A = this chain, B = another copy of it.
Amino acid sequence: MREVYVIGSGLTKIGNLWDKGLRDLAVEAGLAAMEEAGVESVDAVFVGNMMSGILNAQENLGSYVADYLGLSGVPAFKVEAACASGGAAVVSAAMAIKSGLFDRVLVVGVEKMSDMTATEDVTSALATASEADYELFWGASFVSLNALIMRAYAQRYGLKEEDFGWMPILMHKNASDVPYAQLRFPITMEAYLSSPKIADPIKLLDSAPMGDGSAAAVLSASERRDGEGISVALVGFGSATDAMALYTREDLVELKGAKLAAKRAMEMAEVTPRDLQVLEVHDAFSVMGYLNLEALGVVEPGKASRLIESGDADRSGSLPVNPEGGLKARGHPVGATGVYQFVELYRQLSGRAGPAQAGSPELGAAMNVGGTGSNVVVTILRRVS
């Protein structure tokens, strides 16, 4: 089977970017990735996006992004898997290369959430990741579904309010020197504890902000070593689905899809959780970040908060987690998030992470979660040198 290498990356600042539209964001990230890769063309484009139809009155994003990148003619599709759309686009691009039909593929994740042109509000748009008839119709929002998970998780493992604070505190600390991050300021445990609840027990400071952004990567069947002889290979990827509606799951707290996706990716990469040296996890809410760490198998169930509290997950720790600040503080432009994670992992492994560089990791994984765990994509990158 053919190898897949990451040969370039690009991303935009994340935030409520009133002066940039869907098109501007995708083009900025896409061109940056192609420039870093040193290429002027690609064989195909995959766009990860969740809500452009609802929020921007724009579908057909494959053609749209290809056209405005000056690539019109190439095959180009949009891939959607709720908040895992970015990861799904990465995996689609990797399969396209492995099929032998394409040698060099561009992945662009993009979401434009503020300044929307359509009539739906963002909360309703996000809720389309859940089950329309049996969850949304009855008034559940995406936050309230995650609140059910958090409550069950806290109860099962006897966790207290402050146990959930360690995740956002570390994320804000990490993001504070990341130029493109949305929330570049630290928060304290006091601030966390006094933060208002938006869906009990989820606090405002448990929740990723709403933002616009785009990230992109160029994948290639051919290796491309940098000046220091380093290249990065996508050695494993796996994805899995789980029950769509939360109430139909056997266990609110076990993310079966996340475990399955992690298992598939690790089998493909022929690695175990112990081999991983840096992680990107999907902390849309603090509890989801913890459940990701547990599904990856790097910590026992119920112990994720201790991993973060102990300092082991710091940039200087034994297993850095989200060194750029994660969804909570780097930001969460939904359909782009999986590509941000992938790009950040690539930058960590190739020593391009700048102030966020967390040592010199050789192997890392990113977990991108859609819905309340109903669609999960895991990618594993390895440094080759």
Q: Please give the residue numbers on chain A whose beta carbons come within 8 Å of chain B beta carbons, in ascending order.
A: 1, 21, 23, 50-54, 56-64, 66-68, 71-82, 88, 91-92, 95-96, 98-101, 117-120, 124-125, 127-133, 136, 238-245, 248, 256-257, 260, 370-371, 374-375
The answer to whether B98 and A88 have CB atoms under 8 Å apart is: no
> Smallest Cβ distance from A59 to chain B, in angstroms?
4
Tell whether, in the assembled complex, residue A244 and residue B21 are in contact, meaning their CB atoms are under 8 Å apart.
no
- Contacts of A260 on B, CB cut-off 8 Å? 73
- The reply to whether B244 and A63 form a contact with Cβ atoms under 8 Å apart is yes
Residues of B within 8 A of A73 (CB): 240-242, 256-257, 260
* CB <8 Å contact, B60 and A239: no
Query: A37–B82 Cα gap in the complex (Å)?
Result: 30
Chain B hits for A370, CB < 8 A: 60, 63
Report the separation of the CA atoms of residues A58 and B125 in the bound assembly, to the nearest whole angstrom.
9
22 contacting pairs across A/B (C-beta < 8 A): A1-B100, A53-B125, A57-B128, A57-B136, A58-B131, A59-B80, A59-B82, A60-B128, A60-B375, A62-B81, A62-B88, A62-B241, A63-B82, A63-B241, A64-B131, A67-B243, A67-B374, A73-B260, A76-B81, A77-B81, A79-B79, A98-B100
Given contacts A63-B81, A241-B74, contact A53 B54 (CB under 8 A): yes
A77 to B72, Cβ gap below 8 A? no
- The residue in chain B whose Cβ has the minimal distance to the Cβ of A125 is B53
Chain B residues with Cβ under 8 A from A242's Cβ? 63, 72-73
Q: Given that A101-B98, A256-B73, A260-B73 are contacting pairs, would A244 and B79 also be in contact in the complex, using a CB cutoff of 8 Å?
A: no
Known A-B contacts A1-B100, A99-B99; A60 and B81 likewise in contact (beta carbons under 8 Å): yes
A384 to chain B, nearest CB (A): 21
A58 to B51, CA, bound (A): 11
Partner of A119, one of B77, B91, B119, B133: B119
Q: Are A129 and B59 in contact (CB under 8 A)?
A: yes
10 A-B pairs with least C-beta separation? A98-B99, A60-B82, A59-B128, A63-B374, A75-B239, A78-B80, A58-B132, A95-B99, A67-B244, A63-B241
